[in-house]
Amino acid sequence: MNILVTGSRGQLGSEIHELSPKAGKHRFFFFDLPELDITDPAQVEKACAINSIQAIVNCAAYTAVDRAETDAEAAYRVNRDGAAVLAACAARINALLVHISTDYVFDGKASLPYRESDPVNPLGVYGKSKWEGEERIREIAPSHIIIRTSWLYSGYGANFVKTMLRLGRERDTLNVVFDQIGSPTSASDLAEAVLSILDRAETGKRYSMTFHYADEGVCSWYDFAVSIMEMAGLDCTVLPVDSTQYPQAAQRPHFSVMDKSAVKREWGLRIPHWSVSLARQIEKILKTTSSNS
């Protein structure tokens, strides 16, 4: 398949780029701002037409969760309207649209892992804009696979792991919330999952599916931070605090664990435990940092 990857210089897009030479049976075309703005139908149509695109993987998003609260227009423009532009193009050219969404479509009031069919109730602008993007895709793109993920990190871009590694070197102690529970996900694992799905997707078949994908296991941001410090050998004490002691502009779900049975069953995926992937990614990040210094 000829595959267009949008938002290709973000965390997930970069990981797909890194893995793409191994996916030899596909030809990938990577685009990000400024050369391809997903909110611009003409740019999207042109990129698809000149590269005879058969599938689109949308990694582009407005991901600044707190900023979205005061910049709602920009968040909706990319996460809802941009998704609709890609869906309309996919519909016109008969392409499969693989779109990434988020655990923040849920309000976190559940006590069991969220299934794909559970009712959504996003708490903030980011989650709402991503949910509306999902809905546009379901309405417009005849063939789509929506994958909700959570707590993404990577050696590329800015994320919690890289922030902890920096602060762990700078500080003796650090406060991290313990009352938000979820599943950290290596963007590299998600990239592998996306490529496996593309490998197994049947050309010409119409998909209308939503899945949950996160790395296996569950923890709080506090547990995650403790593991990062231990794995990186950093002498920084992480102190547990609750969310009221760490106010942020956007409210986050307290529980955003997702049930991944469907994605494993449908596509035969084996998902690594978050701690195994974290160890591998920290080793990679530290190696890159030391070779750059």
- Chain-centre distance of CA 6, in angstroms? 13
Instruction: With CB under 6 A as the rule, give the number of residues binding ligand NAP.
Output: 29
Dist CA 94 CA 206 (whole Å):
9
Look-up: residue for tokens 């990062």?
A: 228
Query: Is residue 78 within the footprint of ligand NAP (CB under 6 A)?
Result: yes
Dist CA 120 CA 122 (whole Å):
6
Per the CB < 8 A criterion, the answer to whether 278 and 160 are in contact is: no
Query: Is residue 7 within the footprint of ligand NAP (CB under 6 A)?
Result: yes
**Per-residue contact flags (x/-) with ligand NAP for residues 180 to 199, judged by CB under 6 A:** -------x------------
Pick from 187, 172, 261, 254: nearest CA to 220: 254
Per the CB < 8 A criterion, the answer to whether 97 and 147 are in contact is: no
Query: Is residue 152 within the footprint of ligand NAP (CB under 6 A)?
Result: yes
C-beta of 132: minimal distance to ligand NAP in Å? 13
Strand-pairing partners, residue 237, are: 173
Single out the residue of 1, 17, 18, 33 in contact with ligand NAP (rule: CB under 6 A): 33
**Per-residue contact flags (x/-) with ligand NAP for residues 97 to 116, judged by CB under 6 A:** ---x-xx-------------
Which residue's C-beta sits nearest to ligand NAP? 10
Query: Is residue 279 within the footprint of ligand NAP (CB under 6 A)?
Result: no
Query: Is residue 38 within the footprint of ligand NAP (CB under 6 A)?
Result: yes
C-alpha distance from residue 119 to each of 34, 84, 173 (Å): 36, 22, 39
Query: Is residue 120 within the footprint of ligand NAP (CB under 6 A)?
Result: no
Q: Which residues are designated catalytic?
A: 126
H or E element in which residue 140 lies: helix 125-140
Ranges within 205-244 binding ligand NAP (CB under 6 A): none
C-beta of 39: minimal distance to ligand NAP in Å? 5
Interacting residues toward ligand NAP by CB under 6 A:
6-7, 9-12, 32-33, 36-39, 59-63, 78, 82, 100, 102-103, 130, 149-152, 157, 187
